[in-house]
Structure 1
Amino acid sequence: MKIVRRIGASPRERGSLSGETCPDIFELSDGNFAIIGTDFTAVLDKELPPDAERANYERIVVISRETLIRAKADIPDA
């Protein structure tokens, strides 16, 4: 599995000059997506709706609204 491309604007394009706020979205060679974000599993795990579950190896990751909105145009429809 390899990173094929960035989805949306780079952190620098979104104003991160310090390297401390770098959420990012990448498309992978297998068609999946990888997310760099802040691990909020401990905070949000108890907030999951009853029909949502998380495996022990999964984490709830938060990215900024701007990161996702700026990625929207690059996300394939299918």
Structure 2
Amino acid sequence: MEFSWKADPSAIFSRPLVGAGGGRERCNNTKTCPDIWELDNGDVAVIGHDLTTRYAGNLPDGVNIGIGERLVVIPGAMFRAAKAGDT
């Protein structure tokens, strides 16, 4: 079974999924910072460091990076805060 989901480039940012203290403190008040946002269509946008090239040759069995996809890394505290609903 092939996964046929496609990102909708017309979706807009709706709300952040991580509140203050969810990893942003690591940004030292810079204008750029990893982030996780819900889009108005329910999809999620992740802003992180692009490490596609670094991890491409070391992916677990069955994990692939498709054409047009990038592997991004964000702080673990940020992901855990989003998972807990810390907005």
Q: Normalising by the residue count of structure 1, what TM-score does the alignment of the two structures yield?
A: 0.79
Which position in structure 1 is the counterpart of 2:18?
Answer: 8
Instruction: Give the paired residue count.
Output: 75
Which position in structure 1 is the counterpart of 2:72?
Answer: 61
1:43 equivalent to 2:54? Answer yes
Q: Which runs of 5+ in 1 are unaligned?
A: none
Q: What SS does structure 2 have at the residue aligned with 1:74?
A: coil
Q: Which runs of 5+ in 2 are unaligned?
A: 1-10
Question: How big is the alpha-carbon RMSD for the aligned residues of Structure 1 and Structure 2?
Answer: 2.4
Q: Normalising by the residue count of structure 2, what TM-score does the alignment of the two structures yield?
A: 0.72
Q: What SS does structure 2 have at the residue aligned with 1:35?
A: strand
Which position in structure 2 is the counterpart of 1:24?
Answer: 35
Distance 1:12 1:71, change over 3 A: closer
Give, in whole Å, the separation in 2 of the partners of 1:43 and 1:13. 23
Q: Percent identity?
A: 33
Give, in whole Å, the separation in 2 of the partners of 1:9 and 1:29. 18
CA contact (8 A) 2:23 2:77 kept: no
